[in-house]
């Protein structure tokens, strides 16, 4: 169960309320005694105590239900018979989704409770009175900070930056030259809006191209720790609504990322590439510059993409090719190597 | 056009002045009316308005010139005929270079305009009176900060560090045990001079080897956001003049990087490797320890280098091999796989 | 020799004392004059001056001993004859280990000597009186900071975090939801305890799963610059005793890492994977989620692991396979490619 050092438990809640807010149902004929049972916490099947609710969405865990001490368990109809009689079933065809709703009721997102003294806010910045600006934060001239925004300790918000309402920014973040939407979440150490890696290389030597664009991040985007997003050179670097970006990702200047994309840790996307809606890039994948990745395309972990990718295509390898062909090549190479070994 | 929230436009400028400072020329017989035309901004071909100057260096964009509303366009002699009559030609055989010069005149690099109150500067540090030390900066004992240096908010400059004139350091940077040249640019979140990953592993367990060297960064070097450069163990980690390093790059202890190298995002260079002048390492490449990479060598994206690389050689793959051989191997494997598929 | 700008030399020491504390020996019959020789510094063979001690553990450097000006040299018995007569031999079968002990005596780890004014420590935090809390540090409510801890400038310690004695935390670090052991070393810009990348993706859209676990770091662990370690979702992310993690490493939620592991720069480990004791992951390797990596297993640089790895196994490639098979496959492919080339 969550460590109370770090998390504030808002429980207990009557079981009936948790069932309702998670769009779940009881089995038929359940009485008010069950509905009023007090639930104090969420827990895993294996370490649940009396008074907690757990969930089971993984068939491999059905056996472990036998020994759980949870008071109630979220489970789908088809797995109901695996639940021991002493555990109250909460019926939901998406147990993990129901769990997420109950867990976020039990432990609502907390405002950053660190001290907020000693921030340096420029006199020309507009900061909504409901915003929380923690210690050591620096806010530049003309910046606009919306309602209910939290800015964690020692983060730096540059000149003119706009941050939409309900957005939360963790500690030690740097943001410049950016327009950030509402309900965006930015984790510690992210760098957004710095100069891109753009310069002319010719016989006269290197010459920096002024990077005069900005970064535009739509609503509900999440950005991981120590991730870097460079601003555009003259057009903008853009991230679409609801896209989720993990830690240590590199997004170069002028990249355009669509809605609902999933970009896993340590991915790198080179300059001016366009990523379609709902594309998924697995960990450590790299995408070369000036490419178009189609809507819903998927790149396997460590894939190296050097050509456009069609809508819905799944590719793997370096250079990345259709994943079935990639697998065939690995089988072919394995057979060839074994044959040679036999020949020796 | 650049967003005036973030960038301060120094225009308008008379077109003749922009032509001159970019080493461009007008077509013959152009009159003083054209030379005195007021140019207020730079823009892309596609979104240029009246009063702006654009450029065209990419043959694929020649067609789009037809509809541009730009007042003037930087273009090479050979593409001149693609320019509509209503756009004033600015002749230059390197249009992008000319554009960069005009854009940096229109938008000169701005000092960091964030508040600079509340920095903690040790009494024994020497800070030039022209240096800008932003809020939350910490400068350690004996550090020396040169003329016109900018140190962004919440950056930390350790004991004894020397920073040459005109160098600019972004926010949330950490520098220790380092001697930094002039006109260096260091982006947000970079870590320079921390302890390297050096320890003895034998039957008695791990024992750290004291890391007693430093980092030396020559003039005009640029270092990307969240990049890490470890100090040497007893000799120094060195970066040569004019080398450009992108975001999230790892440079281990005792690495020596030559002049004018280009190191793209997420590259990793292991300990004591020596990189020759003008070498180029593409994104996510990895170089093993104690290697020599020759002058002008190139490593393709995601390449994994485990042997020395000759001067001027271009290599790719893991383990990295000459790029032509790497391509041949991919073709051979593809054919083999298709043959097997046909055989099944 | 170490630059005195950055390092404080505690010498000179009599040679006899250095021999003793490094568990070394003199050659037979050495007199008190030698034992009392004053040693002022450590140095490399090539740049050693009179009054310094150097070491030689690499057979390739034996020739260079001829010209060294060092007063003494740590060397193994079998290489003794390579040492010129004017250099005093210090006998040790592990010269580098002996050097490390002498160097750390000459240059003991220094407390961070930056200013410590202006930290923001919550009134409910417990900070041991011997702890050094530097400028700009923020410590949240209920946090506990042990004896002799150093927290570098502008680092942020969240609510409830526990930091064990003798642990040292560099500048600009963020730690939340974490319990950190004793004698841990955390380099600049590391992010520990932030939310993991966990959400439900189904037809109803993305829904974040509350991340309610923490990070537990055992004693003597070292964590590199800008590395990210996410907290668990409901169980914890754990790092075992003495494990060493390099820069820019990503460790996802619920990962369990054993004792004495070595994790080189830019490695990524996906969610819920378990890494056995003394495993070694070389640079840029990636490990997929929900895997078990056996005790003492080794993954080569850039390896992409998508299956469980047996105890002691060494694997390479993407997807990673036993390293001998991986080498055979590269040879087979090379031969195939050359055959095809010959056929053309």
pLDDT in tens, C128-157: 999 999 999 999 999 999 999 999 999 999
The interface pTM score, or ipTM, of the predicted complex is: 0.92
Q: Is C324 on the interface with A (CB under 8 A)?
A: no
If you average pLDDT over residues C110-115, what whole number do you get? 58
Q: What's the whole-number mean pLDDT along residues C86-92?
A: 95
For residue A205, the distance in angstroms to the closest alpha carbon of chain B comes to 9
Searching chain A, which residue's CA lies closest to the CA of residue C173? A172
pLDDT band, residue B3 (cuts 50/70/90) = confident
pLDDT for the residue B86: 92
With residue C238 as reference, give the H or E element that holds it: strand C237-239
A-contacting chains (≥3 CB pairs under 8 Å): B, C
Contact C14, C39 (CB under 8 A): yes
Distance CA C304, CA B318 (A): 12
Q: Tell whether B337 is within 8 A of chain C (Cβ).
A: no
Q: pLDDT tens, A10-60?
A: 999 999 999 999 999 999 989 999 999 999 999 989 889 999 999 998 888
Q: How confident is the model at residue B115 (pLDDT cuts 50, 70, 90)?
A: low
Say if A33 is an interface residue toward chain C (CB within 8 Å): no
- CB of C208 within 8 Å of a chain A CB? The answer is yes
- Taking CB atoms and an 8 Å cutoff, what residues of chain C touch B118? 118
* Position B112 pLDDT exceeds 60: no
Neighbours of chain B (3+ CB pairs under 8 A): A, C
Smallest Cα distance from C285 to chain A, Å: 9
Give residue-wise pLDDT tens across range B225-276: 999 999 999 889 999 999 999 999 999 999 999 999 999 999 999 999 999 9
For residue C284, give Cα distances in angstroms to A305, A321, B235, C305: 17, 21, 25, 12
Task: Say whether pLDDT at B4 is over 90.
Answer: no
Q: Which residue of A has its CA nearest to C209?
A: A100
Class of domain C13-106: alpha beta
For residues C191-208, average pLDDT: 89
Average pLDDT over residues C74-91: 95
Of A156, A234, A318, which is closest to B44 when you measure between CB atoms?
A: A234
Q: Do B114 and A122 touch (CB under 8 A)?
A: yes
pLDDT at A201 (0 to 100): 84
Indicate whether B224 pLDDT > 90: yes
Residues of B in contact with A163 (CB under 8 A): none
Cross-chain Cβ contact B138/C114 below 8 Å: yes
pLDDT in tens, C267-310: 999 999 999 999 999 999 999 999 999 999 999 999 999 999 99
Q: Counting every residue, how long is chain A? A: 344
With CA atoms as reference, report the closest residue to B341 among C33, C9, A324, C316.
Answer: A324
Give per-residue pLDDT as tens, A185-203.
999 999 999 999 989 887 7
The beta-carbon neighbor of C325 closest among A262, A301, A337 is A337
Helices B323-343, C323-343: crossing angle, 10 deg rounding? 90
Nearest CA in chain C to B197: C246
Distance between B338 CA and the closest CA of chain A, angstroms: 8
Question: By the CB < 8 Å criterion, does A335 face chain B?
Answer: yes
The pLDDT value given to residue B164: 98
Identify the active-site residue in A116, A177, A253, A290. Answer: A253
Give pLDDT tens digits for A13-24.
999 999 999 999
Q: What is the predicted pLDDT for the residue at B339?
A: 83
Side-chain half-sphere CA neighbours of A26 within 13 A: 19
Supply the CATH classification number for the domain C173-324: 2.160.10.10
**Residue C126 pLDDT greater than 70, yes or no:** yes
Q: What are phi and psi of C162, to 5 degrees?
A: -115, 130
- Cross-chain residue pair A209–B103, CB shorter than 8 Å: yes
User: Please, what is the average pLDDT of chain C?
Assistant: 93
Which of chain C's residues have a Cβ under 8 Å away from the Cβ of B269?
A: none
Q: Is the pLDDT of residue B121 over 60?
A: yes
Q: Among all residues of chain B, which has the CA nearest to that of C5?
A: B160
Q: What angle do CA C179, C183, C185 make, to 5 degrees?
A: 80
- In whole angstroms, give the CA distance from residue C135 to residue C112: 11
pLDDT tens by residue, B5-20: 889 899 999 999 999 9
B204, B210, B268 member nearest C104 (Cβ)? B210
Q: Does B304 touch chain C (CB under 8 A)?
A: yes
B342 pLDDT higher than 80: no
Q: A110 is written with which tokens?
A: 């907390």
Share of chain A above pLDDT 70, in %: 97
Distance between A203 CA and the closest CA of chain C, angstroms: 34
User: Is some CB atom of chain C closer than 8 A to the CB atom of B212?
Assistant: yes
Residue whose entry in the numeric block shows the structure tokens 């195939």? C336
Residue C115: per-residue pLDDT = 52
B252 touches chain C (CB under 8 A): yes
Q: Given a cut of 80, is residue A344 above it in pLDDT?
A: no
Distance CA B163, CA B143 (A): 8
CA distances from C316 to A266, A338, C267, C297, C323 (A): 19, 17, 14, 11, 5
Q: Can you tell me the distance from the alpha carbon of C128 to that of C147, in angstroms, rounded to the nearest whole number? A: 5
Interface mutation vs chain B, best among A126, A152, A156, most B CBs within 10 Å: A156
What is the mean predicted confidence (pLDDT) over B58-63? 88
CA distances from A175 to A163, A190, A271, B251 (A): 10, 8, 19, 25
Look at residue A4 in the predicted model and tell me its pLDDT: 85
Q: Look-up: residue for tokens 């910490």?
A: B138
Q: Which of A284, A298, A332 to mutate to test the interface with C (most CBs of C within 10 A)?
A: A284
**A94 vs C: CB within 8 A:** yes
pLDDT at A113 over 60: no
**With 90 as the cut, is the pLDDT of residue B27 above it?**
yes
The pLDDT of C44-63, averaged and rounded, is 90
Give the per-residue pLDDT at A1. Answer: 78
In this complex, is the C-beta atom of A29 within 8 Å of any C-beta atom belonging to chain B?
Answer: no
pLDDT grade for C344, boundaries at 50, 70 and 90: low
Please give the order of strands across the beta sheet that includes A41-42: A41-42, A52-55, A72-75, A88-91
How far is A112 from chain C, CA to nearest CA, in Å? Answer: 9
**pLDDT greater than 80 at residue B111:** no
Active site residue A253: yes
Residues C273 and C293 sit within 8 Å (Cβ to Cβ): yes
- What residue segments make up the domains of chain A, in order of their start? 13-106, 173-324
A244 has a chain C CB within 8 A of its CB: yes
Q: Please name the residues in contact with B16: beta carbons below 8 A apart, sequence gap of 6 or more.
A: B26, B34, B35, B36
Q: Residue B66 burial by CB count (10 A; 0-12/13-18/19+): exposed, middle or buried? A: exposed
Cα distance between residue B119 and residue C136, in whole Å: 9
CB contact (8 A) between residue A197 and residue B284:
no
Share of chain B above pLDDT 70, in %: 97
* Residue B277 DSSP symbol: T
C262 shares contact with chain B (CB less than 8 Å): yes
- Among A171, A250, A260, the strongest candidate for a mutation testing the C interface, having the largest count of C CBs within 10 A, is A171
Please list every residue in chain C whose beta carbon sits closer than 8 Å to the beta carbon of residue B246.
none
Q: Out of A172, A202, A252, whose CB is closest to B172? A: A172
Q: What is the pLDDT of residues A325-339, one digit of tens each?
A: 999 999 999 999 988
Q: What is the pLDDT of residues A131-149, one digit of tens each?
A: 999 999 999 999 999 999 9
DSSP letters for B133-164 = E-TT-EE-TT-EE-TT-EE-TT-EE-TT-EE-
| Minimal C-alpha gap between B266 and chain C (Å) | 8
pLDDT at position B202 is: 78
Indicate the range of A331-335, B108-112, B173-177, C244-248 predicted with least confidence: B108-112
Quick one: tokens of B124?
């024994």
Decide: helix, strand or coil at residue C12. coil
Q: How confident is the model at residue C117 (pLDDT cuts 50, 70, 90)?
A: low
Distance CA B259, CA A326 (A): 39
- A224 contacts chain B (CB < 8 A): no
Q: Which chains touch C (3 or more CB pairs under 8 A)?
A: A, B
Whole-number Cα distances in Å, A144 to A130, A139, A183, B300:
13, 9, 15, 42
Q: Does C10 touch chain A (CB under 8 A)?
A: no
Q: Which residues of B touch C248 (CB under 8 A)?
A: 226, 228, 248, 250, 268
| pLDDT at residue B16, as a whole number | 96
Q: What is residue C334's predicted lDDT score, i.e. its pLDDT?
A: 94
Considering only the beta carbons, identify the residue of B173, B200, B284 that sits closest to C97: B200
Is B193 near chain A, with CB under 8 Å?
no
- Among residues B116, B253, B290, B330, the one annotated as catalytic is B253
pLDDT for res B117: 67
B289 has a chain A CB within 8 A of its CB: no
**Cβ neighbours of B264 in A, within 8 Å:** 197, 270
Number of Cβ within a 10 Å radius of residue A311: 14
Range 125-144 of B in CB contact (< 8 A) with A: 134-136
Question: What's the start-to-end Cα distance of chain C, in Å?
Answer: 59
Provide the greatest CA pair distance for chain A.
83
| Distance in angstroms (rounded) separating the CA atoms of residues C190 and B227 | 12
- Select the residue from B158, B201, B245, B316 to test the C interface by mutation, using most C Cβ atoms within 10 A: B158
How far B178 CA sits from the closest chain C CA (Å)?
A: 8
Mean pLDDT on C183-209: 92
Per the DSSP assignment, residues forming a β-bridge with B156 are B138, B174
In C, minimum Cα distance to A96 occurs at: C200
């Amino acid at each position: 169960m969550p460590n109370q050092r770090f998390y504030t438990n808002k429980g207990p809640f009557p079981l009936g309320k948790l069932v309702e807010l998670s769009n779940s149902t009881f089995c038929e004929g359940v009485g008010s005694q069950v509905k009023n049972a007090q639930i104090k916490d969420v827990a895993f099947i294996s370490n649940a105590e009396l008074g907690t609710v757990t969930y089971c969405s993984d068939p491999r865990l059905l056996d472990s239900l036998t020994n759980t001490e949870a008071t109630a368990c979220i489970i789908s109809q088809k797995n109901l018979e695996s639940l021991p009689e002493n555990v109250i079933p909460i019926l939901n065809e998406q147990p993990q989704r129901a769990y997420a709703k109950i867990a976020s009721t039990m432990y609502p997102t907390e405002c950053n409770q660190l001290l907020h003294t000693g921030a340096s806010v420029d006199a020309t910045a507009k900061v909504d009175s409901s915003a929380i600006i923690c210690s050591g934060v620096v806010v530049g001239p003309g910046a606009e900070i919306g309602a209910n925004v939290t800015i964690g300790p020692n983060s730096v918000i540059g000149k003119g930056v706009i941050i939409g309402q309900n957005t939360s920014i963790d500690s030690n973040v740097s943001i410049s030259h950016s327009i950030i939407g509402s309900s965006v979440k930015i984790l510690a150490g992210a760098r957004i809006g710095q100069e891109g890696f753009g310069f002319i290389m010719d016989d006269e030597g290197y010459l920096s191209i002024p990077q005069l664009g900005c970064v535009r991040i739509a609503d509900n985007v999440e950005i991981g720790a120590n991730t870097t997003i460079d601003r555009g050179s003259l057009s903008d670097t853009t991230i679409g609504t609801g896209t989720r970006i993990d830690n240590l990702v590199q997004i170069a200047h002028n990249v355009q990322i669509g809605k609902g994309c999933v970009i896993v840790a340590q991915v790198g996307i080179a300059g001016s590439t366009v990523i379609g809606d709902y594309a998924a890039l697995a960990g450590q994948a790299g995408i070369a510059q000036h490419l178009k990745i189609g809507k819903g395309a998927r790149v396997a972990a460590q894939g190296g993409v050097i050509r456009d990718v069609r809508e819905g295509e799944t590719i793997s390898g370096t250079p990345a090719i259709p994943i079935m062909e990639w697998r065939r090549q690995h089988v072919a190479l394995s057979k060839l190597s074994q044959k040679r070994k036999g020949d020796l």
